[in-house]
Structure 1
């Protein structure tokens, strides 16, 4: 299934009736030309019907971009702009929207050629607030054609995330495991975000799994798994059951997504899962995530929500990891100190049993789940994908509802270091500047659970704008403060 939203941005130019309309016409044309020279023309649609100067024009433009299949909007102030009509356009357009403004082109034409959009953006933003209309406004929203083309392109991943959330269903199986309150968060905020949730018992899933016994599609999935694992296929006897489980989940998604376009999954994977199903679901979770259907472990609803946002923003596979264990001092001294510009407290290990896609691992092997095997027969703990996570830039982040039903988030840029973990599971040695302080004054102080989503690459800028757009208060978006900048809760005499 196609589980990634696509966005087409309708560009509508606006004009104040006491300014030359030609300013907006010519500047819109230049903007579209600049965008199509640098980026994919299918991302945008130039509304040719009119330059919006009045409410009638607004209705005409709105109908035109809807007919053209636009699910995102860019209101372009070619000059000062009509603050009522342009903000009504944003109000009545149902998808994500942005506002940008044209800069003046040349000192030689600052009389008849001056547009004053720099001023008009102030009135537009005030009117948006009056109408309680959310819109993305770039950090510096005024520019020439090339600048504005770049702004629109930066809006694409933000718009994809907003569009995706408004059409997302989260399917969960089972309550959180006992003694595992960390990922238990109110679902009210999901509805506030426009996300649907379908909660099921793991018994429902077990029945569906048993009904897939002998499914004729199993051998083909087993062959896919064998090709993916290669020499890492250490538990070939468990592949038919894993294939049966994968087909069960895919068919459930097909039959239960309803009117929603996009789906994520989260499931209960212990303590009874292994003894009843006869395996652990980690590898299947990793495969579905690689196929664009994020899956979180341990019924972490906001974990899979975070994964989906990161997938859409990064246009890449993501993963969910425990912020798990400290890096031993001897490992730090041998493999990190003097080689990388990080202190010991900047480092930690991100781990999960085996839910990270094989393409994001430096090597992979199908194993048994060591933690579970300490109290269960090894043969029912097979099915986890182990390997060190590939080195490179990452963004660690999470969107969360607090116990008192408030949205909160964090974002931190860092990297996975090329250091052998010498451990088990899907795991990596992570480094985030000032991680020790971030750990104490954002993660602990903010009451975040141990699960964090990981996007590969640095995507903090877009994630920050997504979180703002969907209503996370700016003061509730934590990030790793640089050295010398004190957290509100940090002891000034530390």
Structure 2
């Protein structure tokens, strides 16, 4: 059955280009203690709601309970069913329960246990202790009590340290939670296009599609490379307005002089054909049988198509690496769909920097990540340029014997010798530790990369996804190298 394009979420960016994105629907349920001051609770609520309504507004839809209870603050147990009903009707992806004071642990627990989604607990730091004349909020005290009940109910939850509302700690913690929720949402019902089979020699990219379905609800959708080729040839023949515009734009920013005009047109048509089939199959990521299939079918490699689609929020992994595609879906979500991600080979160590490593592939990286000083070219439809400098988060989702792991670490780019294809040199804190974990862990030579620092987000997301987190910056977890 063909699924209509409308089932995929799209936003539009400059030039009318469609961009795949997902937003997080966040239920916010402030809580208070029944006999404590409503006036003070409302003061706290207004402070933190103002802050969260200003953070990543394009990525978050906030669902409050202002219409369900007095001042939008929960404390009555009898109101719990109606609040749960509203949040379920709105299909929230995550739940934030801010404490305006001590709170009501039964209310907190009953609402949180009704959902299997990420839950965030936080309360503002009290300004002063109780006195004989007045009762304070006792916010921290109530959080300790409520989280014990959540644990009894088996509810997984995150929390931000008891801190001031206006401080950086709260804003960072809240934003990180939104990123965690985005990753968890991205993994639910993810559909991965599997375009062709793995290259014969590449046993390392083998995956168990049934396990992915049973564990995470991920569906691997087979798409024939022949179908892609057939569609691409039809696009070239029809010379549609979309095709002509894309070909003109592509050749304007990349040096294509090393290729024949017909070959460049084939590469452009492949990109449009792959996107068409992704949309028709409701897939937002894919794994591609590239060099082992398309040169024979089309006469060119499809590498440029992979980089171009990543820039539209639709990343594809080389060499039919399904787990690599899932890795990029994770990185895309933790970055809140703001920048493109890439899949690279770990190839060689830096010739002069013992903590340096080359992230490389033959030509499928997103053009948006290109260094400004690097000239972009196409050779056999494989891109040729260096990526920009900046902070990186590197990760790999992988599996062995049904046990899933997420390897992750933070790095920074560095300079190094020029090479062919698309590439960037990175520097890590301790490459030998990274290498040892990659050698002994259930990983391969492919890793995903995204610009930014997201290690805490990936660690927390792995906990919700119930997979092992393998921190590249921590010792242990593997035998010692000789």
Structure 1, unaligned runs of 5 or more: 333-343, 369-381
Matching of residue 122 in structure 1 with residue 144 in structure 2: yes
Matching of residue 389 in structure 1 with residue 406 in structure 2: no
Structure 2, unaligned runs of 5 or more: 1-9, 12-19
The verdict on how the C-alpha distance between 1:282 and 1:491 changes in structure 2, with shifts beyond 3 A counting, is closer
Judge conservation of contact 1:281–1:383 (CA < 8 Å) in 2: yes
Aligned to 1:27: 44
Over aligned residues, Cα RMSD in angstroms?
Answer: 2.6
1:62: how far off? 2.9
Judge conservation of contact 2:440–2:479 (CA < 8 Å) in 1: no
1:31: how far off? 1.1
Aligned to 2:259: 235
Aligned to 1:339: none
SS of corresponding position for 2:426: strand
Distance in 1, matches of 2:62 and 2:132, equals: 30
Distance in 2, matches of 1:62 and 1:429, equals: 49
Aligned to 2:16: none
Moved more, 442-451 or 92-101: 92-101
SS of corresponding position for 1:79: coil
Judge conservation of contact 1:253–1:263 (CA < 8 Å) in 2: yes
Judge conservation of contact 1:23–1:113 (CA < 8 Å) in 2: no
Judge conservation of contact 2:313–2:340 (CA < 8 Å) in 1: yes
The verdict on how the C-alpha distance between 1:444 and 1:43 changes in structure 2, with shifts beyond 3 A counting, is same
SS of corresponding position for 2:159: coil
Judge conservation of contact 1:102–1:145 (CA < 8 Å) in 2: yes
Judge conservation of contact 2:191–2:284 (CA < 8 Å) in 1: yes
Judge conservation of contact 2:286–2:316 (CA < 8 Å) in 1: yes
Distance in 1, matches of 2:178 and 2:132, equals: 33
Moved more, 219-228 or 359-368: 359-368
The verdict on how the C-alpha distance between 1:115 and 1:107 changes in structure 2, with shifts beyond 3 A counting, is closer
Aligned to 2:194: 172
Aligned to 1:469: 464
Judge conservation of contact 1:74–1:152 (CA < 8 Å) in 2: no
Matching of residue 44 in structure 1 with residue 62 in structure 2: yes
Aligned to 2:295: 274
TM-score, length-scaled by structure 2? 0.85
CA displacement 1:272-316 (0-9 Å, x = unmatched): 321222111110100000111111111111111111211221221
Aligned to 2:4: none
1:166: how far off? 2.0
Q: How does 1:264-303 map to 2 (within 5 A)?
A: 264-303=285-324
TM-score, length-scaled by structure 1? 0.83
Q: How does 1:344-359 map to 2 (within 5 A)?
A: 344-359=353-368
Distance in 2, matches of 1:200 and 1:45, equals: 38
Distance in 2, matches of 1:62 and 1:418, equals: 53
Aligned to 1:411: 408
Q: How does 1:130-209 map to 2 (within 5 A)?
A: 130-138=152-160, 140=161, 142-147=162-167, 148-187=170-209, 188-209=211-232
Distance in 1, matches of 2:361 and 2:350, equals: 16
Judge conservation of contact 1:32–1:149 (CA < 8 Å) in 2: no
Aligned to 1:91: 113
1:97: how far off? 2.7
Judge conservation of contact 1:96–1:163 (CA < 8 Å) in 2: no
1:365 pairs, out of 376, 398, 406, with 376
The verdict on how the C-alpha distance between 1:286 and 1:467 changes in structure 2, with shifts beyond 3 A counting, is same
Aligned to 1:53: 75
1:94: how far off? 5.5
1:136: how far off? 2.5
SS of corresponding position for 1:151: helix
Distance in 1, matches of 2:99 and 2:248, equals: 55
Aligned to 1:76: 98
1:451 pairs, out of 446, 453, 465, with 446
Judge conservation of contact 1:234–1:365 (CA < 8 Å) in 2: no
1:172: how far off? 0.9
Distance in 2, matches of 1:200 and 1:110, equals: 72
Distance in 2, matches of 1:218 and 1:349, equals: 35
Aligned to 2:30: 13
The verdict on how the C-alpha distance between 1:470 and 1:345 changes in structure 2, with shifts beyond 3 A counting, is same
- How many pairs does the alignment contain? 450
The verdict on how the C-alpha distance between 1:89 and 1:236 changes in structure 2, with shifts beyond 3 A counting, is farther
The verdict on how the C-alpha distance between 1:106 and 1:46 changes in structure 2, with shifts beyond 3 A counting, is farther
Q: How does 1:247-266 map to 2 (within 5 A)?
A: 247-257=272-282, 263-266=284-287
Distance in 2, matches of 1:151 and 1:110, equals: 35
2:435 pairs, out of 439, 445, 464, with 439
Distance in 2, matches of 1:144 and 1:210, equals: 60
Matching of residue 4 in structure 1 with residue 21 in structure 2: yes
The verdict on how the C-alpha distance between 1:129 and 1:34 changes in structure 2, with shifts beyond 3 A counting, is same
Distance in 2, matches of 1:135 and 1:204, equals: 45
CA displacement 1:384-408 (0-9 Å, x = unmatched): 0011222221111112122x11111
1:221: how far off? 1.7
SS of corresponding position for 1:414: strand
